[in-house]
Amino acid sequence: MNWAALLGNPIKHTLSPIIHREAFKQAGIDGAYIPIQVKEGYLEEVMKGLCFMENLLGFNITIPFKEPAVRLMDISGEEVKLIGAVNTVKRGEDKLVGFNTDYSGFLQALDEAWGENIEGCKALILGGGGAARAVIYALHTRGAKEITLALRSQFKGEKLKEELSWASIKTIPFKKEAIEGALAEQDLLVNATPIGLKGEAMPFSLERLSKNAFVMDLVYNPPLTPLLKEAKERGIPFCNGLAMLLYQALDSFEIWTGCRVEAGPIKEILHRWEKEATENR
Ligand code: NAP
């Protein structure tokens, strides 16, 4: 049997095992996907051990290890170096090879739900953590015209601009007036903060955002965050982070196995989960 894993902390609510179980089934591979809760401070020790497990295909990395894992890779894709975060590791010949599929998953989800040409568009991203970095890289590679980040720490904003000097980004404070002031000009709004996970509302209104714009919330549980509920009520097209989760997983699976499995049957499973999650709220 082959296996893959997820390293993170916490990992209790992850949907990744559901996706990969189905992917193994579709690909006809006898495989398992196991979430491993790694004690903080011990990522390096755990990864060293995993490196020599011969039936391990690879693993995903999630919060809070995506950034610290970068320096533990033997080889990394160009995108990992630029984004500064790794979410997929392939185990090859006793070496760990790092990739980032959050950015490619984001693009596939956005293309599917929005379908507009990203080239020349203006985007406002809320937050500046690992997911926001992947979104910046994705939008940058597709030729977005202007990328603005709303951040609660100006100090972190300056550091981020320095680290991501390959992208041209502006920062604004994570404040009602600043965000509402910027919204009128945007084609795309992306929430890359955890706001909404516990049903919290954003501290601003979408009144100034055009109905031709698109809102993407990377949060997928709850499926309809207060941000997306407002977009829906105002007739602004939107999507949550479920499709991004699916596509980043399918890209990881392809890196590990060389098999591209069909998204359709897994989407049906996730939609059933989404329906139940909405009904249980
Ligand atoms: P992260 O590295 O912890 O970054 C979170 C960012 O949000 C930081 O910039 C943080 O600011 C900011 N933030 C947190 N609480 C805030 C608040 N109350 N007001 C303003 N800003 C706030 O997390 P991440 O890995 O980027 O993930 C962000 C979100 O995306 C999470 O909800 C995660 O579940 C989701 N995500 C989804 C997918 C998917 O496939 N759908 C993939 C990756 C991530 P500070 O730096 O000031 O703390």
All CATH 3.40.50.720 domain ranges in the chain, comma separated: 103-240
Per-residue pLDDT tens over the stretch 203-216: 999 999 999 999 99
Confidence at 277, pLDDT banded by 50, 70, 90: confident
Per-residue pLDDT tens over the stretch 251-262: 999 999 999 999
| Residue in 224, 213, 250 with CA at minimum distance from that of residue 106 | 250
Mutation choice for ligand 1 from 136, 193, 248, CB with most ligand atoms inside 8 A: 193
Mutation choice for ligand 1 from 14, 135, 218, 242, CB with most ligand atoms inside 8 A: 218
Q: Is the pLDDT of residue 279 over 90?
A: no
The pLDDT, as a whole number, for residue 185 is 95
All CATH 3.40.50.10860 domain ranges in the chain, comma separated: 2-101+243-279
- Alpha helix segments (H runs only) across the chain: 16-27, 43-50, 78-83, 102-113, 130-141, 154-163, 176-183, 226-233, 242-257, 263-279
Ligand 1 atom at minimum distance from 193 CA? 7
Neighbour tally for 233: CB within 10 Å: 9
> In which region does residue 93 sit, left (phi positive, over 0), alpha (psi from -120 to 50) or beta (all else)?
left
CATH class of 103-240: alpha beta
Per-residue pLDDT tens over the stretch 46-62: 999 998 899 999 999 99
Measure the CA–CA gap between 61 and 189, rounded to whole angstroms: 26
Confidence at 237, pLDDT banded by 50, 70, 90: very high
Instruction: State whether residue 192 is helix, strand or coil.
Output: coil
Query: What average pLDDT does the chain have?
Result: 96
The answer to whether residue 66 is catalytic is yes
The pLDDT, as a whole number, for residue 94 is 81
Mean pLDDT (whole number) for 60-65: 95
Ligand 1 atom at minimum distance from 63 CA? 25
Q: Is the pLDDT of residue 281 over 80?
A: no
Report the topology of domain 2-101+243-279: Rossmann fold (3.40.50)
The pLDDT, as a whole number, for residue 273 is 93
